[in-house]
């Protein structure tokens, strides 16, 4: 499979598993159980395609590397960034889902250990400006001119930086999920409300 097909397969299987959670039929549950290892395999298959180089994701490192003209360079960067961010977010969400699932079954142990360490401790970019870009030039301008935040659990004080510097229009939907996971529901809800954002 191509990288894009690998990502699409992981996302489709994840959505399939989430949708089947509400089905109480015992036959469906047996199928659900048998599909979980495939979801884990699908998330593991994403890892070789993800560039876990935090310096490459740093706003300071690449702010001047996205030319506005010719637009083909910005297009290539934008296309790659969308894939990388989508793969990282998908891997993180699948890991969270699987860890929760196995925890509820009493089988938490070291499941998803490899995935969890990679997904949780590596960079994911939080920026509504970048996701709202309509084309490569809009993306390059947002990358250059707007602040965006790297959620990297292994980096010191990353959460404090976000809390101190992030504004209302910086936070995307996935950012809300991450902040709620990191801060807890009540703290995240309070901080977001202070910024004029509904959880």
The pLDDT of residue 152 = 77
3-state class (DSSP) for residue 91:
helix
**102 located within any domain:** yes
**97 located within any domain:** yes
The pLDDT of residue 113 = 53
Domain of residue 107: give its range. 3-194
**135 located within any domain:** yes
The pLDDT of residue 49 = 93
Q: What is the C-alpha to C-alpha distance for residues 20 and 86, in angstroms, rounded to an integer?
A: 23
The pLDDT of residue 57 = 46
**77 located within any domain:** yes
Tens digit of pLDDT at every position of the chain (199 positions): 999 999 999 999 999 999 888 777 777 777 888 899 999 999 999 999 998 765 544 545 455 578 888 889 999 999 999 999 999 999 989 988 888 888 888 876 555 555 445 555 567 888 899 999 999 999 999 999 988 888 877 777 878 888 888 888 888 888 888 889 888 999 999 999 998 888 8
**186 located within any domain:** yes
The pLDDT of residue 56 = 46
The pLDDT of residue 72 = 92
**199 located within any domain:** no
Q: Tokens 């929760």 map to which residue?
A: 100
Q: What is the C-alpha to C-alpha distance for residues 100 and 13, in angstroms, rounded to an integer?
A: 17
* Cβ contact 5:84 at 8 Å: no
Quick one: three-class SS letters along 38-77?
HHHHHHHHHHHHCCCCHHHHCHHHHCCCCCCCCHHHHHHH
Q: Looking at the 3D structure of the chain, how many domains does it have? A: 1
**How many of the other CB atoms lie within 10 Å of CB of 37?**
10
Q: What is the C-alpha to C-alpha distance for residues 117 and 113, in angstroms, rounded to an integer?
A: 6
**52 located within any domain:** yes
* pTM score of the predicted model: 0.83
Which residues are within 8 A (CB) of 42 and not within 5 positions of it... i.e. 6 or more apart?
A: 6, 9, 10, 13, 14, 94
* Cβ contact 149:166 at 8 Å: yes
């Amino acid at each position: 499979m191509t990288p894009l097909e690998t990502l699409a397969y992981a996302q489709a299987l994840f959505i399939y598993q989430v949708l089947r959670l509400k089905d109480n039929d015992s036959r469906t549950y047996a199928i659900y159980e048998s599909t979980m290892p495939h979801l884990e395999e699908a998330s593991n298959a994403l890892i070789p395609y993800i560039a876990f180089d935090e310096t490459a994701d740093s706003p300071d490192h690449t702010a001047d590397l996205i030319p506005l003209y010719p637009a083909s360079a910005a297009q290539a960067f934008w296309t790659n960034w969308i894939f990388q961010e989508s793969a990282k977010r998908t891997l993180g969400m699948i890991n969270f889902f699987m860890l929760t699932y196995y925890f509820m079954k009493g089988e938490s142990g070291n499941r998803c250990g490899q995935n969890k360490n990679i997904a949780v401790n590596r960079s994911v970019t939080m920026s509504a400006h970048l996701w709202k870009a309509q084309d490569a030039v809009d993306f390059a301008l947002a990358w250059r001119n707007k602040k965006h935040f790297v959620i990297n659990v292994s980096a010191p004080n990353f959460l404090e930086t976000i809390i101190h510097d992030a504004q209302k229009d910086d936070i995307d939907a996935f950012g809300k999920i991450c902040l709620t996971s990191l801060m807890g529901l009540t703290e995240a809800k309070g901080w977001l409300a202070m910024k004029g954002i509904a959880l």
